[in-house]
Amino acid sequence: MFPSTCWLRPLLCLGVAIFLVAPARADSLDFALSTKNKAILRYLQNKNVETVGVLKFQASVGSEKPRLDVGPINSVMAERLETVLILGTDPAHPLNIIRDASSHAAAQKGNLDYRDATGRKELLDLSYPLVFGEKSVKPDLFLTGLVHLDLKALKTKVTLLAFDNKSKALEDTGIRFEVPLDRSTLADAGRGFVLTREQLMDKRGAFDEHFGDELAANQVQNNPVTVLKSPNKLVAMKILIEGKGEMEMVDDESHPGAGYFRTPRKFELGDKVRIQLTNLTDRVLAVVVKVNGMNTLYEQKLDAINCSKWVLDAKQTLTIKGFYLSDDGKNLAPFKVIPEEEFVAKGLADSSMGTISMHVFVKGDEKAKEAKVVARAVVRGYPLRKWEEEKTKLASMKDVKAFFQPLYKVFGRNILFRDDQLVEGAKLVTENFWDPQEAQVLFLRYHR
């Protein structure tokens, strides 16, 4: 939402970090998409596809029309599908899989759109890098899709689409699935909500993930809150510019009351940006803050429930100056404002760019400390920093698959942009935070 020129980039702060892995859910988007692997590969084989790319999904919430800029979910779905292809391909008869086709298309041609015939033709005519080696190729076919958040049925519905060099028409692949709508998906669609710990407990006084998801979805549909002004909010977030004071946040006029916001003032080159969190409660809370879809702890790009979190004591204020890349030493990569022309914010570009989100967790069931932690299926995101370090060693799809398999047992990637000029940061301390329950989400666009 900065109707202007700039965006944020890495730095870091003080606090206590935690890392927890959520129990496995067989009804997650990641798991459901993984189960469609064979059907997807069969579809591609029937089309005699040798080279395939995945483009950003269209997304819609409730009665809204599908768009390419709903929120991080547009790009996250493409990341998931690309990872499923990599993990599912047969190394003996591998597909040529294009790496991050949407970003490369946006970098080359700006506002290309596969929803019209001209855009599809131009996308098929471009060259793209493969997931291994330095070779650029042209695709035989692109996969993409529609993801719809049905607030009434409390379902997330996914349909896979495709277009190829033969017909160039956007067609339904016949591959579709639905899963229960959860808080993570609402957050990825840019929807904010505020729930208290007491509200999250069901009639039995227990914490149930589906019950909490239903509460959040009903609030988004029936009583969208202004998170900034809600009397129930748990954590207040401020964007501070050193020497210039607080940056105003206002309701997004294009989605009034939807729970996400914009900044009417633009960042300027040289601004030193800080994100300040204040725990408004008398309880210990855990918070995930993402900038451009990337966690300020360790550059993770996961569902917030799977991210490392800042732990805030009662009434504590914490100032985040950027991203912590490790636990101590020169671990701080500061936020940096760069000119708009250095990144693409429209079309098929990463829909996480130009956003800041805050995810607040309350402690759930203390008995959860006795529960066995189980790895859950996660296929969202790429470990980009590790990828940059290792990609020259990857000479085939077999190498790529071997690289990815261990990364997606529990969690995913880092992101493209970071400030390599690290400075001394605070030492991080690990603390347990049992059974985190997502209670508040604030979604902010600082660039549009």
Q: What is the pLDDT along the chain (448 residues), one digit of tens a residue?
A: 222 223 343 333 344 444 444 444 555 888 899 899 999 999 999 999 999 999 999 999 988 899 998 889 999 999 999 989 988 888 777 889 998 899 889 888 878 899 999 999 999 999 999 888 778 899 999 999 999 999 999 999 999 999 999 888 999 999 999 999 999 999 999 888 888 888 887 766 677 788 888 888 888 887 766 677 778 889 999 888 888 888 777 777 666 555 566 676 777 777 888 899 999 999 889 999 998 888 988 888 888 888 888 888 899 999 888 887 777 667 778 888 776 655 544 567 788 888 889 999 988 766 655 444 433 445 565 555 555 566 666 666 666 666 655 544 432 222 223 444 545 556 666 667 777 888 888 888 776 5
Which residue is it, tokens 């519905």? 157
Sequence-separated (6 or more) residues with CB below 8 Å from residue 295: 288, 289, 301, 302, 307, 308, 323
Closest CA to 343 of 6, 2, 1, 4: 6
Closest CA to 343 of 106, 11, 119, 102: 106
Which residue is it, tokens 């809204």? 64
* Domain spanning 29-181, CATH class: alpha beta
**Tens-digit pLDDT profile for residues 190-220:** 888 888 888 887 766 677 788 888 888 888 8
Both tokens assigned to 73 = 């979910």
Domain extents for the chain?
A: 6-24+185-375+410-445, 29-181
Both tokens assigned to 251 = 């309701």
Using the CB atoms, write b or e for 342-369: b if 16+ within 10 Å.
ebbbebbbbbbbbbbbbbbbbbbbeeee
Please, is 87 exposed, middle or buried when counting C-beta atoms within 10 Å of its C-beta (0-12, 13-18, 19+)?
A: middle
**C-alpha distance from residue 265 to each of 4, 171, 245, 270, 448 (Å):** 9, 42, 12, 15, 11
Query: Which pTM does this prediction carry?
Result: 0.83
**Tens-digit pLDDT profile for residues 102-111:** 988 988 887 8
Phi then psi for residue 246, to 5 deg, are: -85, 140
Both tokens assigned to 87 = 């993990």
**Tens-digit pLDDT profile for residues 353-403:** 888 899 999 887 666 554 444 334 455 655 555 555 666 666 666 666 666
